[in-house]
Amino acid sequence: MMMDKLQKFCVISLTQGGRHADNTVDLQEFMIMPTGAENMEQAIRMCAEVYQFLRIILKQKGLSTAVGDEGGFAPDLSDSESVLEVILEAVKKAGYEPGKDISIAIDAAASELYDEERGVYVFPGEGKMKGEEVLRDSGEMIEYYEKLAEKFPIVSIEDGLEEDDWEGWKQMTKRLGDKIQLVGDDLFVTNIKRLACGIKLGAANAILIKLNQIGTLSEALDAVEMAQKAGYRAVISHRSGESEDSFIADLAVATGAGQIKTGAPCRSDRNAKYNQLLRIHEALGELAVYENPFKENEKNC
Check whether 114 has a pLDDT greater than 60: yes
Higher pLDDT, 194 or 270: 194
pLDDT single digits (tens) 238-282:
888 788 899 999 999 899 888 999 989 888 888 999 999 899 888
Would residue 26 count as lying in a domain? yes
The C-alpha R_g of the chain, in whole angstroms, comes to 18
Would residue 285 count as lying in a domain? no
pLDDT single digits (tens) 280-298:
888 888 877 777 777 743 3
Count of domains in the chain? Answer: 1
Domain that holds residue 17: 12-218
- φ/ψ of residue 91, rounded to 5: -60, -45
What's 129's domain CATH number? 3.20.20.120
Would residue 38 count as lying in a domain? yes
**Distance separating alpha carbons of residues 91 and 99, to the nearest angstrom:** 10
Annotated active-site residue in 210, 242, 261, 291: 210
- φ/ψ of residue 248, rounded to 5: -65, -25
CA dihedral 83, 86, 87, 91 (to 10 degrees): 170
Would residue 127 count as lying in a domain? yes
Would residue 262 count as lying in a domain? no
Would residue 210 count as lying in a domain? yes
What is the per-residue pLDDT for 16? 52
**Distance separating alpha carbons of residues 149 and 155, to the nearest angstrom:** 8
Confidence of residue 78 (pLDDT cuts 50, 70, 90): confident
**Distance separating alpha carbons of residues 140 and 26, to the nearest angstrom:** 16
The question of whether 70 is a catalytic residue gets the answer yes
**Distance separating alpha carbons of residues 16 and 31, to the nearest angstrom:** 9
What is the per-residue pLDDT for 40? 78
> How distant is the alpha carbon of residue 233 from its chain centre?
13
Confidence of residue 68 (pLDDT cuts 50, 70, 90): confident
Annotated active-site residue in 29, 70, 126, 158: 70
What is the per-residue pLDDT for 70? 82
The question of whether 229 is a catalytic residue gets the answer no
Under 8 Å between Cβ of 168 and 201: no
| Mean pLDDT score across all residues of the chain | 88
Instruction: Specify which residues 206 forms β-bridges with.
Output: 183, 233
Would residue 65 count as lying in a domain? yes
Would residue 17 count as lying in a domain? yes
Half-sphere exposure of 275 (CA within 13 A, CB side): 10
Distances (CA, A) of 192 to 15, 171, 255, 293: 31, 21, 16, 23
Section 121-143 average pLDDT: 93
Check whether 18 has a pLDDT greater than 70: no
